[in-house]
Chain A
Amino acid sequence: MLGYIAKRLISAVPVLFGLSVIVFAIMALIPGDPATAILGAYATPENVERINRDLGLDRSLPEQYFAWITNVLQGDFGRSFRLNRPVLDEILERYSATLVLAGTSLVICSILGLLAGIVSAVRQFGWADRIITFFVLIGISMPAFWLGLLLILVFAVQWRLLPASGMYAIYGGGDLPDLLRHMILPATTLAVVATGVIARLTRAAMLEVLRQDFVRTARAKGLDERTVIYKHAFKAAFVSVIPVIGIQAGFVLGGAVYIETVFQWPGIGQMLVNAISTRDILLVQGGVLFVAASYVLFNLAADVFQALLDPRLKS
């Protein structure tokens, strides 16, 4: 197992490396440059040249990339020229905010998705199944940012029950209940689509399993239905749902980009959006590398977990 993990981790290195080259190339190829972004209307060729010189952007692209990758390998991600602080400080701060939000969201969508999927499968074509399917389809089809705005309007503006945006109260606050109160709306919004996807796939997997011989055997043994479904059928179906949850973890991380913008959550998604539009190349590079690395890790974790649960996959 350890060998497998090591192999997977090593195979991730070229992926991340290739990714950094692609991101760097894209940032270099898209029109508009950091100096123009800084100067706005005042971007005369003369001013642009001065800023480029000050930022070290007057060197050739391979030179710039090589300087960057050399520093990264030594743990130095450079300074964000836009935020005037080290890239790594910014990323770690933002990344932890995203993890808190995405993690909570993942827990919500896993629990709700699995439950809904099981109930749906067990009561196939029954009322419960129809109602769940109805809501799941709405959840999957609804644009999440729109749902987010709607929730803000209802819970923050109309009823004034929850804060409209931010991670902590702006003055004072900062404790766990404060964080939870701020998290309810964005985490729910972020969870909706993933819940739908997990519910659909759990339903399909459960239906598949429920038709198999061992379930019939379990029922024939006279086990009560609860035990058959949760102990036997679900356990088998769960194995095939795990990788989906792994992929959803990546999805939730990606979805955080716009949910964070809507709810002004100080996470890495929002950071990346700002960094791209201001051509803050080092921040984009560092941020993408982090997100990509976590995507790889989530999928690896899902695979390992699946292998641990399913003896057939252990070899």
Chain B
Amino acid sequence: MKNLLAGVAIAALLAASPASAQTPPNVLVVGQIAEPQSLDPHVATAVNDFRIAVNVYDGLVRYADGTLEVEPSLATDWEVSEDGLVYTFTLRDDVTFHDGTPFNAEAVKFNFDRMLDESHPFYETGPFPLSFNFDSVEEVNVIDEFTVEFVHSEPFAPFLSNLAYPTGLIVSPAAVEEFGEDYGRNPVGTGPYQFVEWASNTRVVVERNADYWDGAPELEAVVFRPITDANTRVAEMLSGGIDVLVEVPADNVGTFEADANFTVHEQAGPHVWYVMLNAAEGPFSDVRVRQAANYAVNKEALVDDILQGTATVSDSPIPPAFNWAYNEDLEPYPYDPEMARELLAEAGAEGAEVTFYVTEGGSGMLDPITMGTAIQADLEAAGFEVNIETYEWNTFLGLVNAGLEDQADMAQMAWMTNDPDTLPFLTLRTEAWPDAGGFNSSYYSNEEVDELLNAARTATDQDERAELYKEMQAIVFEDAPWIFVANWQQGAVTSSAVENFELQPSFLLQLGDVTKR
């Protein structure tokens, strides 16, 4: 008993020791949603990893602050040949990697050859799941020490924005050679912060790169903490254990907004949440039934009530965040159950029975079960019979990516992309049906859309591309291959000590300019 009392006393003493949950001064602690998988930007696939990577590395180009438009970074300038096949970059001549080795054209060539050339000596340090972003690159040539050219097999307009994406970040060749397959845990880049430590499942620490070519950060260090449980993550923020909380659960946004100790940040991003409708068979093969579904679903209620205002209603396969490519003239299908019933009657599809694939949760899926049941209720009110089948995320992807034929009539899906091309190109073309290796799992097909998308991909002039995309969106809106539902606004919370924090439309987390009082 005495020992027990002593134990209690010790516990009380420990508990009473001060400042238990204060983060250290001038060190920013970021609450992440999971342990990173790899800090090799060519190996990583998750936004969670990219949030760290973009602070350790630079790419040849980057997204300009607050936009999804490309601006110079490690490359000061570039030229594109008439035929759109050859991109020639002039590189900065004053940059070294954190390990002291120089950044130059050879380093750039090494980076892309490692990803794309199976015979490269360090190809084995992969796999590089997103290297298909650069599939059109045939060869990378060193012209002189600070000039490098990319030769493409076909014109590919999204190339520059793909370079700005984390898959295009530049790693230190010397470090890859030194660490080999362990490079992903020993990252070396040129970015504002340099890697210090990765304690498994506890933290990743990066510290100020005092020699950063674009101005050294003020913060001494940034600590990324993985906290997988959303409730715990929120509790850590409330108790002062972290300074920045990303991916704030919709239910908690209000709590933080009401508290002066916190600042809530919101930023629309290149995200689309939709329900694909099987156009090949069943009731949704009739365009009127697809339009009826769009009229039947109360999207305002979905984004306001279920997502608590953390999303806006969508009306296009291109999210408004790509402001240059988004068709401003479109207005979302209004909530009009009467219209839906009329269209259903016209199509002779009253009481149509449909199977709806819903997932339990996954990347960008927001609150899929609640959203799924709300959509079900709306559709049933308009005269559909909806059977929901729910699957765990990986299972769900396996089923849906194989194509809905003989399985289901509708399925939820969400995408986050870095170029307006990606989503429609992979999900709406006839050549993107699942058996052709694409993600058009609901078999939408319209020759005009195919032509517009192919033309937009090979056009190198941005205004010309924009026109093509806008035309495509107008057609797709009428054809209604999906129920257009939501564009997510990512949210973050910072403590009041944090300043100059800004979310980017790219969903990446640039911390170079952030300060902490």
Q: Mark A158-189, 1 if CB is under 8 A from B, else 0.
A: 00111111111011100001001100100000
Q: Are A79 and B181 in contact (CB under 8 A)?
A: yes
Q: Are A170 and B184 in contact (CB under 8 A)?
A: no
Q: Are B235 and A162 in contact (CB under 8 A)?
A: no
Tell me which residues across on chain B come within 8 A of A83, comparing CB atoms.
35, 37, 200
Q: Are B37 and A82 in contact (CB under 8 A)?
A: yes
Known contacts A31-B399, A165-B232, A40 near B239 by CB under 8 Å: no
Chain B stretch 281-314: residues in CB contact (< 8 A) with chain A: none
Q: Are A160 and B24 in contact (CB under 8 A)?
A: no
Complex: chain A residue closest to B37, CB-CB? A82
Q: Are B394 and A41 in contact (CB under 8 A)?
A: no
Q: Which of B219-227, B328-336, B344-352 lies on the face that meets chain A?
A: B219-227
Q: Are B126 and A54 in contact (CB under 8 A)?
A: yes
Q: Are A164 and B232 in contact (CB under 8 A)?
A: yes
Tell me which residues across on chain B come within 8 A of A44, comparing CB atoms.
401, 437-439
Across chains A and B, the number of contacting residue pairs, with CB separation under 8 Å, is 175
Q: Are B398 and A177 in contact (CB under 8 A)?
A: no
Chain B stretch 19-46: residues in CB contact (< 8 A) with chain A: 20-21, 23-24, 27, 29, 34-35, 37-38, 40, 43, 45-46
Q: Are A32 and B397 in contact (CB under 8 A)?
A: yes
Q: Are B241 and A165 in contact (CB under 8 A)?
A: yes
Q: Which of A8-16, A45-53, A123-131, A303-311 lies on the face that meets chain B?
A: A45-53
Q: Mark A245-288, 1 if CB is under 8 A from B, else 0.
A: 00000000000000001111010001100100101000000000
Give Cα A190–Cα B205 distance, bound, in whole angstroms: 30
* Cβ distance B290 to chain A, nearest Cβ, rounded Å: 22
A41 is contacted by which of B391, B398, B413 (Cβ under 8 Å)?
B413
Q: Are B439 and A84 in contact (CB under 8 A)?
A: no
Q: Mark A138-168, 1 if CB is under 8 A from B, else 0.
A: 0000000000010011011100111111111
Give Cα A47–Cα B57 distance, bound, in whole angstroms: 26
Let me know if B260 is at the binding interface, CB within 8 A. Answer: no
Q: Which of A90, A160, A168, A181 counts the most B-chain CB atoms under 10 A from its CB?
A: A160
Q: Are A42 and B15 in contact (CB under 8 A)?
A: no
Q: Are A266 and B201 in contact (CB under 8 A)?
A: yes
Let me know if A61 is at the binding interface, CB within 8 A. Answer: no
Let me know if A37 is at the binding interface, CB within 8 A. Answer: yes
Q: Are B225 and A170 in contact (CB under 8 A)?
A: yes
* Cβ distance B300 to chain A, nearest Cβ, rounded Å: 26
Let me know if A58 is at the binding interface, CB within 8 A. Answer: no
Let me know if B203 is at the binding interface, CB within 8 A. Answer: yes
Known contacts A36-B401, A264-B228, A161 near B241 by CB under 8 Å: no
Give Cα A264–Cα B232 distance, bound, in whole angstroms: 8
Let me know if A100 is at the binding interface, CB within 8 A. Answer: no
Known contacts A41-B363, A41-B439, A170-B29, A266 near B200 by CB under 8 Å: yes
Give Cα A26–Cα B387 distance, bound, in whole angstroms: 28
B15 is contacted by which of A165, A171, A181 (Cβ under 8 Å)?
A181
Q: Which of B127-135, B143-151, B210-218 lies on the face that meets chain A?
A: B127-135
Chain A stretch 204-225: residues in CB contact (< 8 A) with chain B: none
Q: Are B37 and A184 in contact (CB under 8 A)?
A: no
Let me know if B119 is at the binding interface, CB within 8 A. Answer: no
Let me know if A55 is at the binding interface, CB within 8 A. Answer: yes
B394 is contacted by which of A111, A172, A279 (Cβ under 8 Å)?
A279
Complex: chain B residue closest to A111, CB-CB? B4
Tell me which residues across on chain A come within 8 A of B395, comparing CB atoms.
30-32
Chain B stretch 179-221: residues in CB contact (< 8 A) with chain A: 181-182, 184-185, 200-203, 205, 221
Let me know if A59 is at the binding interface, CB within 8 A. Answer: no
Complex: chain B residue closest to A258, CB-CB? B229
Q: Are B229 and A261 in contact (CB under 8 A)?
A: yes
Let me know if A93 is at the binding interface, CB within 8 A. Answer: yes
Known contacts A44-B438, A50-B127, A85-B182, A167 near B37 by CB under 8 Å: no
Give Cα A153–Cα B232 distance, bound, in whole angstroms: 9
Q: Are B45 and A40 in contact (CB under 8 A)?
A: yes
Q: Are B241 and A170 in contact (CB under 8 A)?
A: yes
Q: Are A261 and B228 in contact (CB under 8 A)?
A: yes
Q: Are B185 and A152 in contact (CB under 8 A)?
A: no
Tell me which residues across on chain A come within 8 A of B11, comparing CB atoms.
180, 184
Give Cα A171–Cα B29 distance, bound, in whole angstroms: 9
Let me know if B155 is at the binding interface, CB within 8 A. Answer: no
Q: Are A51 and B129 in contact (CB under 8 A)?
A: yes
Complex: chain B residue closest to A161, CB-CB? B15
Give Cα A180–Cα B13 distance, bound, in whole angstroms: 11
Q: How many residues of A contact B (CB 8 A)?
A: 61
Let me know if A94 is at the binding interface, CB within 8 A. Answer: yes
Chain B stretch 63-90: residues in CB contact (< 8 A) with chain A: none
Let me know if B500 is at the binding interface, CB within 8 A. Answer: no
Let me know if B258 is at the binding interface, CB within 8 A. Answer: no
Chain A stretch 56-96: residues in CB contact (< 8 A) with chain B: 79, 82-85, 90, 93-94
Let me know if B16 is at the binding interface, CB within 8 A. Answer: yes
Tell me which residues across on chain A come within 8 A of B238, comparing CB atoms.
157
* Cβ distance B99 to chain A, nearest Cβ, rounded Å: 19
Tell me which residues across on chain B come within 8 A of A79, comparing CB atoms.
181
Give Cα A263–Cα B434 distance, bound, in whole angstroms: 42
B127 is contacted by which of A32, A54, A155, A270 (Cβ under 8 Å)?
A54
Complex: chain B residue closest to A188, CB-CB? B11
Q: Are A43 and B401 in contact (CB under 8 A)?
A: yes
A84 is contacted by which of B16, B38, B239, B241 (Cβ under 8 Å)?
B38
* Cβ distance A67 to chain B, nearest Cβ, rounded Å: 18
Q: Are B236 and A32 in contact (CB under 8 A)?
A: no
Tell me which residues across on chain A come within 8 A of B228, comparing CB atoms.
261, 264, 270, 274
Q: Are A84 and B37 in contact (CB under 8 A)?
A: yes
Q: Are B397 and A170 in contact (CB under 8 A)?
A: no
Give Cα A156–Cα B21 distance, bound, in whole angstroms: 8
Q: Are B16 and A39 in contact (CB under 8 A)?
A: no
Tell me which residues across on chain A come within 8 A of B17, comparing CB atoms.
177, 181
Let me know if B362 is at the binding interface, CB within 8 A. Answer: yes
Let me know if B102 is at the binding interface, CB within 8 A. Answer: no
Q: Are A90 and B200 in contact (CB under 8 A)?
A: yes
* Cβ distance A130 to chain B, nearest Cβ, rounded Å: 21
Give Cα A81–Cα B392 distance, bound, in whole angstroms: 21
Known contacts A84-B43, A261-B228, A271-B201, A45 near B437 by CB under 8 Å: yes
Give Cα A111–Cα B29 distance, bound, in whole angstroms: 38
Tell me which residues across on chain A come within 8 A of B181, comparing CB atoms.
79, 84
Give Cα A51–Cα B23 distance, bound, in whole angstroms: 40
Q: Are A37 and B4 in contact (CB under 8 A)?
A: no
Q: Are B29 and A264 in contact (CB under 8 A)?
A: no
Q: Are A47 and B241 in contact (CB under 8 A)?
A: no
A156 is contacted by which of B14, B45, B200, B235 (Cβ under 8 Å)?
B235
Q: Are B20 and A157 in contact (CB under 8 A)?
A: no
* Cβ distance A1 to chain B, nearest Cβ, rounded Å: 31
Tell me which residues across on chain B come within 8 A of A262, comparing CB atoms.
229, 231-232
State the 8 A-B residue pairs at the shortest beta-carbon distance, nearest first: A32-B394, A266-B201, A54-B127, A31-B395, A84-B184, A156-B239, A161-B15, A157-B238
Q: Kindly list 19 other residue pairs between chains A and B, CB separation below 8 angstroms, not including A42-B130, A170-B203, A184-B14.
A: A30-B395, A32-B393, A32-B397, A39-B45, A40-B46, A41-B439, A42-B129, A152-B235, A157-B239, A160-B240, A163-B21, A164-B21, A165-B235, A166-B225, A170-B225, A170-B241, A263-B232, A264-B225, A266-B200
23 inter-chain pairs at a CB distance below 8 angstroms, sorted by A residue, are A30-B395, A32-B395, A40-B46, A44-B437, A55-B127, A84-B40, A84-B43, A156-B21, A156-B241, A157-B235, A170-B23, A170-B223, A170-B225, A170-B241, A171-B221, A172-B24, A177-B17, A180-B14, A181-B20, A264-B227, A264-B228, A270-B228, A277-B394
